[in-house]
Structure 1
Amino acid sequence: MNKTEAFVKEINEGNTCKGDYITLGSAMLDGKTITNTFVNVPLKTMNRHGLIAGATGTGKTKTLQVLAENLSEKGVPVLLMDIKGDLSGLAKPSPGHAKIDERHAQIGLPFEPKAFPVEIMTLSEQDGVRLRATISEFGPVLISRILDVTETQAGIISVIFKYCDDNHLPLLDLKDFKKILQYATNEGKEEFEEAYGRISTASTGAILRKLVEIEQQGGDVFFGETSFDTQDLLRIDENGRGYINIIRLTDIQDKPKLFSTFMLSLLAEIYSTFPEQGDSGRPELIMFIDEAHLIFNEASSALLNQIESIVKLIRSKGVGLYFVTQNPTDVPEAVLGQLGLKVQHALRAFTAKDRKAIKLTAQNYPDTDYYDTAEVLTSLGIGEALVSALDEKGKPTPLAATMLRAPMSRMDILTESELGGLLAESKLAKKYNQEIDRESAYEMLNKKIEEAEAEEAIQKAKEEKEALKRAESKRKTSSTRRQSTRMNPILKVLTSATVIRGVLGILSKMIK
């Protein structure tokens, strides 16, 4: 058995699947594609997470597109974080090309252009299904992590939530949260101190400043109703294909706090609401985070810790996380060590630092007798990658340089009219794009303050009226007394006892 035959035997044995699987392409040896030597990924292990890495222009996004398409065809819903804005073409079939036909002839797979069920979503004011969540749904722990507050400030946030729960005040959006923070140290200061202890104005001020930071990055658009139900990510179309949910994040690079907020909310909601699934034979949902290096570079420590925890735990919910980035070193080691599928496109060695990174990357892949992994990493062409997956027993498959299949959908974005048509047909857009601003903590507290002020004004007016009444009564009494003591002098003389006796004496003589 020669080298090629031994290689083919190893690849075929390592990629044999009893259950359902996705075919990524055909294996390569010494730079040549070996037709019909397929590299497969079992659906059963796709909830073990993965990585798609490689230099700019090597085909990472197209690999993501291929995986999303094939998952959809297998009835598995997909969630894509589209940071570059070039994935909407999944909704339209590929126009085809001679080079695509040539590639598929080498692989040994037929090429069939297809469109897929797509839902366009947004965190901001871009066109798409609006993704929102309420402050209450986050809870004090997640809010504290997002704001990256001190232990003391986290305690205050917990007290704020407790007060709102006790007094039936819904915390829906940022203005609700800001209002209750202001109320706790102003109009409601005595009420809070009596029930929960003293709350520092300096601490609430620091929390408010952090809220303003999120607000400036679009948090006022994200927080509110109608809240997005994560079950709507699991929709299947009438043909049994999973929906590909694309979140447009082209403006997110300038809003790291907002993205951290969204990611924490989404991961926590999925983990808390999805049922335990275990090894069911197929994933419930696959999430792809494109340009993941932007997230990890800008993420708060809270987000990093949360992602590390979720990567370890969310697998049992049937959810797989796939990170798409330029270099594996962009992903924290604690996350990288948990990943099952690795699709490594070409890396470029322009500097000593690049060469060192390539050597480290090569060490992350299984040993092989057929490749110098570090050398292959720099010689792969566009649409070629080193692939290592987990077989159905959870063991790494043989490392294979792979000629990857082409996407069945359009490798370009939708036009404005196509996007408008897609959104016009969206059932989720009708469900979530109506903004609701019902009575919540902001309105209730304002009403409470107004009622307190009105009652205080009435009491003050009553007190002033009583004071005026007392003053008037006092003035009248004083006036009467002064009048009695200030009698006319003539009348005084005429009414004196001496004058009266004199007059009476004269009258008596005249009568006699």
Structure 2
Amino acid sequence: MKGYDVEGPALELGALVREDGTADPSEQIRIGLSTLNRHGLVAGATGTGKTKTLQLMAEQLAAQGVPVFLADIKGDLSGLASPGTAADRVTRRAAEVGQAWQPAACPVEFLSLGGLGAGVPIRATMTAFGPTLLAKVLGLNETQESSLGLIFYFADKNGMPLLDLKDLIAVIQYLTATPEALSGIGGLSAATAGVILRTLTNFEAQGAEAFFGEPEFDVRDLLRVTPDGHGMISILELPAVQDRPQLFSTFLMWLLADLFHVLPEVGDVDKPKLVFFFDEAHLLFDDASKAFLQSITQTVRLIRSKGVGVFFVTQTPKDVPGDVLAQLGARVQHALRAFTPQDAKALKATVSTFPESAYDLERLLTELGTGEAVVTVLSETGAPTPVAWTRLRAPQTLMAPSSPDVVQSVIGASPLQQKYGTAVDRESAYEILSTKLSDQQRPETPAGPAPEAPRGPERPREREPEPKQSVLESVLESKEFRSMARSAASALGREITRSIFGTARRGRR
């Protein structure tokens, strides 16, 4: 077995391990940067070193000018912002694999979902998220998804911006109370509206109200390169929401979908425009709806042409749906455990997914040491390379969380903090509808008694006051509503779909 010969820039994973268990520094295992947009998987049992492998790959990508995005579920990856610490095990590993180890820190941004955690708060508007992707996240059926699209359409055509959850809820409640508003373009049944409102309420309980709003995050801020040519590593800190997988799954899907719309087609590239790493990827797929999984599969398949690579990091390959797993070109498999019948079955399934090998993989995968893996990648010709038992290099950044002071100093010095740090709540659908209903309900100011006429015929008897209109009747007879209804009716026949991912692009300010 020989190391991988790669033309052009590459990630240096480590040295090939001989049959006697010693590493051969002359045989290096590499992954060409030009193949990273074919995606990959880093898997292994807890404590086998897969998070350190992710860290090693991220710091090398950044050093070669490739921006990186990391979803940090456990809070383990903030060490990328600090230089590593020399220790006997580090220098020993470096000598074994032929690595010239030097402590180094990477340029890092810390992000958080709407401020839930330490990091620059990032948000998306409800309009930009769109009805199709939202329906997939909420697990709505086809009829409910169609109704949600109609709600978005009505709001767009009547000048009611949908920026956050309360905007969408307000429009649904308005259309439920005034079904005539949709006359000529469709209808919204009370039952369907009730289902959508209940799912939105559950979604809000997971903290989604923090994610939806303004200022909206511009995904192009993930593509930054420092003046000295290093790629920026953007770390999404998720420990505060690790028990709410629907929330961060929603964000990650929106982020990939928005990137797909923003980035141009690039075809084959010397190195990727951006590489995603989803740590603890099983949380992304646990209890996911069929529609959500289809959306993930489609996104992974198509975003490759935009020069974006996606790596899933998890315990076993079975944590990743088969349709997604089939699209992953690089495999870095750390040790697996076989303590139970279920573990043994998972081990056999994992071995069956590798190319033919001279190794007894079923035995080797249970005997790998910490920081070792079996590796197979796609060559420049698209063919899988032979499986290679690899002793991995040591990361040069800190293999532990950075101190809170370091994290806070990075956040405080970030130009993104000035751009996204303060939430904006401008007038949108909720305020527009609240003002409309408030105007209709405001009582008229009573006039003072009229003076008696000094002469002339007796004044006619005052008319009995007409019954006061209900809010619903006032809205239906108002000039504003009639104008809205005419506008909606005139738009009959227009497309109400957005895109295959359900996002709507709008001009960036």
Residues matched between the structures, number: 452
Structure 1 residue 152: Cα displacement: 2.4
Q: 2:74 matched to 1:109?
A: no
Aligned equivalent of 1:24: 13
Q: 2:123 matched to 1:132?
A: yes
- How many angstroms apart in 1 are the aligned matches of 2:291 and 2:121? 25
Structure 1 residue 205: Cα displacement: 1.5
Letter aligned with residue 246 of structure 1: I
Letter aligned with residue 238 of structure 2: L
Letter aligned with residue 324 of structure 1: V
Letter aligned with residue 375 of structure 1: R
- How many angstroms apart in 2 are the aligned matches of 1:452 and 1:196? 26
Out of 236, 240, 250, the residue aligned to residue 225 of structure 2 is 236
Aligned equivalent of 1:477: none
- How many angstroms apart in 2 are the aligned matches of 1:311 and 1:440? 34
Q: Deviations over 1:415-443 (max 9, x none)?
A: 22111111111111111111000000111
Q: Secondary structure at the match of 1:35?
A: strand
- How many angstroms apart in 2 are the aligned matches of 1:396 and 1:144? 37
Structure 1 residue 470: Cα displacement: 6.0
Q: 2:228 matched to 1:246?
A: no
Q: 2:287 matched to 1:295?
A: no
Aligned equivalent of 2:37: 47
Q: Over aligned residues, Cα RMSD in angstroms?
A: 1.8
- How many angstroms apart in 1 are the aligned matches of 2:167 and 2:100? 57
Greater shift in the superposed pair: 121-130 or 210-219 = 121-130
Greater shift in the superposed pair: 436-445 or 300-309 = 300-309
Aligned equivalent of 2:475: none
Out of 417, 423, 427, the residue aligned to residue 429 of structure 1 is 417
Q: 2:398 matched to 1:410?
A: yes
Aligned equivalent of 1:509: none
Q: Cα gap change, 1:367/1:340 in structure 2, threshold over 3 Å: closer, same or farther?
A: same
Give the 5 Å matches for 1:157-196: 157-186=148-177, 188-192=178-182, 194-196=183-185
Q: 2:117·2:239 contact (CA, 8 Å) conserved in 1?
A: no
Q: Secondary structure at the match of 1:365?
A: coil
Out of 132, 136, 143, the residue aligned to residue 152 of structure 1 is 143
Q: 1:256·1:298 contact (CA, 8 Å) conserved in 2?
A: no
Q: 1:112·1:408 contact (CA, 8 Å) conserved in 2?
A: yes
- How many angstroms apart in 1 are the aligned matches of 2:287 and 2:112? 20
Give the 5 Å matches for 1:369-388: 369=358, 371-388=359-376
Out of 368, 371, 380, the residue aligned to residue 392 of structure 1 is 380
- How many angstroms apart in 1 are the aligned matches of 2:462 and 2:427? 47
Q: Secondary structure at the match of 1:394?
A: coil
Q: 1:39·1:402 contact (CA, 8 Å) conserved in 2?
A: yes
Structure with more helix by fraction: 1
Aligned equivalent of 2:472: none
Out of 295, 299, 302, the residue aligned to residue 306 of structure 1 is 295
Aligned equivalent of 1:119: 109
Aligned equivalent of 2:496: none
Structure 1 residue 215: Cα displacement: 0.7
Structure 1 residue 155: Cα displacement: 2.2
Out of 331, 335, 342, the residue aligned to residue 342 of structure 1 is 331
Q: Deviations over 1:334-357 (max 9, x none)?
A: 111111110000011112221222
Out of 362, 366, 374, the residue aligned to residue 355 of structure 2 is 366
Q: 2:116 matched to 1:143?
A: no
Letter aligned with residue 62 of structure 2: S
Q: Secondary structure at the match of 1:409?
A: coil
Out of 60, 63, 66, the residue aligned to residue 56 of structure 2 is 66
Letter aligned with residue 129 of structure 1: V
In structure 2, runs of 5+ residues without a counterpart are 451-458, 465-509
Kindly report structure 1 stretches of 4+ aligned residues shifted beyond 6 Å.
Answer: none
Q: 1:260·1:303 contact (CA, 8 Å) conserved in 2?
A: no
Letter aligned with residue 388 of structure 1: T
Greater shift in the superposed pair: 412-421 or 88-97 = 412-421
- How many angstroms apart in 1 are the aligned matches of 2:426 and 2:322? 45
- How many angstroms apart in 1 are the aligned matches of 2:389 and 2:410? 38
Q: Deviations over 1:138-185 (max 9, x none)?
A: 122112212222322222212211111111111000010010011112
Structure 1 residue 473: Cα displacement: 8.2
Letter aligned with residue 242 of structure 1: G
Structure 1 residue 472: Cα displacement: 4.5
Letter aligned with residue 370 of structure 2: I
Q: 2:60 matched to 1:35?
A: no
